[in-house]
Structure 1
């Protein structure tokens, strides 16, 4: 790795060994205890299964058989034929959660949100971004990924908007690969890149070629652009054309504030025919009726991040309007700087409450609607809906067990509502990513959290020097 400053190479390698080992996904061996290495089979017994598959529905006291990383069967009293068994009595099984938008790189700056009298968010972030190194970037990504696993997020969208050179991109890429999670690297730009300067197309091509390797089979690539609100038309049109030529999806922040909405960015894209199903629009807090209509017609998706949108002053996500227009929606943590931690359950609950609170109609949306956005809906928006998003035979085994026997969850009158309105990351008992158990009995497998805390503290100190 080149262009490294700040933490030295020895420290980076130490971080890699600690966190890479901690986030590696140990496979299940035949007749083995969950968490041991080697190829194998796993039979989850007696769970309340929320499949998110209309053909399967919800099942009580059901089993799920996993073989070679794939879901083989869903039903009752399945035959394991020598598979390791996991007793899920009293637990709710859901598909692995898909986070649609996350700036993982700045996780070390947790809860450094604006304060009265202090610098505004974007000014403070711009100053901090210049002090990041590839090593600190990797550490921030790994910290966020650890929280993702802890919460039951098995697919992440890493929106990398502080890539200050190829070494930064490689640091993010390596951290994502080592985690074993499914991920999309949205290749972006440096925070202080001039509005007249283009992205590093040459390095994007390098990364795209690298991702063709089987070693990166759980990763793919997208283009994170500044778009019509932050660059001139000639620049962002070139970026869209480049993405189309390279068969890459595009993501951009849009309609984030009243001031930005005056640029009518959604309509600029629509008028040029650039809104397609391969385009993700992030936030859209101030999208109006015309924008909603254009997005709906185009098939483009929207990712909302209600917790951070409120905290940074963007406003309230138009949740009900997006839902009623049948726009593909996903939910995002966005940044630990503003969200404080990675809690996808609070995110789901907040989205549901916004839809109802802003319309005054308590039946406007359901808990199942937002759980869909966090699972199958988000997978569909990524183009991965045939691989993940539901507990269906043939799909990859990305699964989460929530312990409904914990205080704050029982009694369970409606398991879907309990997941959305009652669960927290602390209630996540087991996380399985691509058939490998990475959290069991409430503990992250192989991850030394105390060591991670020491490294994160040192990383934050490095940023503040």
Structure 2
């Protein structure tokens, strides 16, 4: 396609109140940016993508994902948090410690493709696999090749294993910052750590911190006293936090990422969605890991919608489907610190756009667009653009050998399980004795 493309005649959900929505509208893209949204745009020199009978909206933004785990799909679907942490990290034979750079590459590449195919155009990837700089480079290569927009949160490797002499966290962030450009934005992450918070502040990069219980929330309160909290920090999970911890996050302009399905699957506690909403904090959805829970945002949106509404009482307002859609797009972009670039169909922003087929048995007749989106699934994702480039067309990823990727992931999984000595759980469970 040329440098000018118009998505013509779709139901447009811009997620920008100043732009508005259209029952029949156009989105004009030029050189990777959105230049106009409206009805019957004059675009005689543009390539036309007919969106009649379809819903056009911003791509979803996944604010927390460990894409390297793709080869371990559903391995911990039955796990409680103790099973997951012990089997993945405890001892030299734990599954994560078996990762080679090649395993990391295929996990990241396959995971990025899965997100793109499901309509997610931006992922905050918490690496957690940076055993050596070669592992980190393999992760970045996989993300780059897939063509997804990503915030790469360089994270430490945990577990009682012998670290590789080349282990370079967090110092490797300097090398990554010097080399990265384009669709990948480096960041720091994983846990509530004073040195990491200071480094992120000094380097002016985002920080993504797991806050898994109230004890870590109290540490955040101490960090506020030391001037370490600020608007460039996203707090992941935020489980069991005291009001005083939430107040510290609110006072310092923090953002929140919730992974409703993974958190409940692992029995980590009730997701903090309502607590974030009560304080009107920017909140986005994460998927955590495909080893635990599904990655597609249709599942995530429905889980969040029913979770919040299941606890509504006289003191709380039920969320709407549009509220949930906001969290999946612009709210996610805010939590990823990319809302100046993506998250809404706003002229001037980059063209990360998805087109959903509403002429399908699970979507038609189209009576209420936001509700219909929540009731869809990945099969409705027909077209995906990232930075104006079409990466999925007519329901298929462009120039991707899907079978080849699946074969590589299967080979990776076999090697990981063999090297760790883990048993096959094809017909049993990770919790089976």
TM-score when scaled to structure 2? 0.90
Matches within 5 A, 1:179-328: 179-192=146-159, 200-211=169-180, 216-227=181-192, 236-254=193-211, 256-257=212-213, 261=215, 264-328=218-282
Please report how far the alpha carbon of residue 161 of structure 1 lies from its aligned counterpart in structure 2 after TM superposition. Answer: 1.0
Q: Residue 132 and residue 416 in structure 1: after superposition, are their counterparts in 2 closer, same or farther (change >3 A)?
A: same
Q: Residue 117 and residue 50 in structure 1: after superposition, are their counterparts in 2 closer, same or farther (change >3 A)?
A: closer
8 Å Cα contact 2:80/2:266 also seen in 1: no
Identify which range, 91-100 or 369-378, moves more after superposition.
Answer: 369-378
Q: Corresponding residue for 1:391?
A: 345
Please report how far the alpha carbon of residue 267 of structure 1 lies from its aligned counterpart in structure 2 after TM superposition. Answer: 2.3
Please report how far the alpha carbon of residue 59 of structure 1 lies from its aligned counterpart in structure 2 after TM superposition. Answer: 0.4
Q: Any idea what the Cα deviations from partners look like across 1:125-182, whole Å, max 9, x if unmatched?
A: 1110111001100100111111111111111111011210100111111111222221
Distance 1:160 1:267 in 2: 26
Please report how far the alpha carbon of residue 275 of structure 1 lies from its aligned counterpart in structure 2 after TM superposition. Answer: 2.1
| Secondary structure of the corresponding residue to residue 99 of structure 1 | strand
Runs (4 or more) in structure 1 with deviation over 3 Å come to: 114-119, 193-199, 260-263, 360-363
| 2:65 is aligned with 1:108 | no
Distance 1:139 1:146 in 2: 10
Q: Corresponding residue for 1:13?
A: none
| Secondary structure of the corresponding residue to residue 359 of structure 1 | coil
Q: Corresponding residue for 1:87?
A: 50
Please report how far the alpha carbon of residue 360 of structure 1 lies from its aligned counterpart in structure 2 after TM superposition. Answer: 3.6
Please report how far the alpha carbon of residue 115 of structure 1 lies from its aligned counterpart in structure 2 after TM superposition. Answer: 4.3
| Secondary structure of the corresponding residue to residue 130 of structure 1 | helix
Please report how far the alpha carbon of residue 395 of structure 1 lies from its aligned counterpart in structure 2 after TM superposition. Answer: 1.2
Alignment root-mean-square deviation, CA: 2.3
Matches within 5 A, 1:370-385: 370-385=324-339
Matches within 5 A, 1:406-445: 406-420=360-374, 422-445=375-398
| Secondary structure of the corresponding residue to residue 454 of structure 1 | helix
Q: Any idea what the Cα deviations from partners look like across 1:299-335, whole Å, max 9, x if unmatched?
A: 1111000000011111221222211201111111110
Distance 1:398 1:92 in 2: 14
Q: Corresponding residue for 2:417?
A: 464
Q: Corresponding residue for 1:32?
A: none
Q: Residue 283 and residue 47 in structure 1: after superposition, are their counterparts in 2 closer, same or farther (change >3 A)?
A: same
Aligned residue among 40, 50, 70 for 2:33: 70
Please report how far the alpha carbon of residue 295 of structure 1 lies from its aligned counterpart in structure 2 after TM superposition. Answer: 1.4
Distance 1:342 1:263 in 2: 27
Q: Residue 373 and residue 195 in structure 1: after superposition, are their counterparts in 2 closer, same or farther (change >3 A)?
A: farther
| 2:106 is aligned with 1:153 | no
Distance 1:450 1:385 in 2: 35
Distance 1:118 1:418 in 2: 34
| Secondary structure of the corresponding residue to residue 349 of structure 2 | coil
Task: Specify every segment of 5 or more residues in structure 2 that has no aligned partner in the other structure, as ranges.
Answer: 419-433
Q: Corresponding residue for 2:425?
A: none
Q: Residue 269 and residue 359 in structure 1: after superposition, are their counterparts in 2 closer, same or farther (change >3 A)?
A: farther
Q: Corresponding residue for 2:283?
A: 329
Task: Specify every segment of 5 or more residues in structure 1 that has no aligned partner in the other structure, as ranges.
Answer: 1-27, 30-39, 228-235
Q: Corresponding residue for 1:7?
A: none
Distance 1:240 1:192 in 2: 21
Aligned residue among 95, 98, 104 for 2:61: 98
8 Å Cα contact 1:129/1:191 also seen in 2: no
Aligned residue among 172, 175, 191 for 2:142: 175
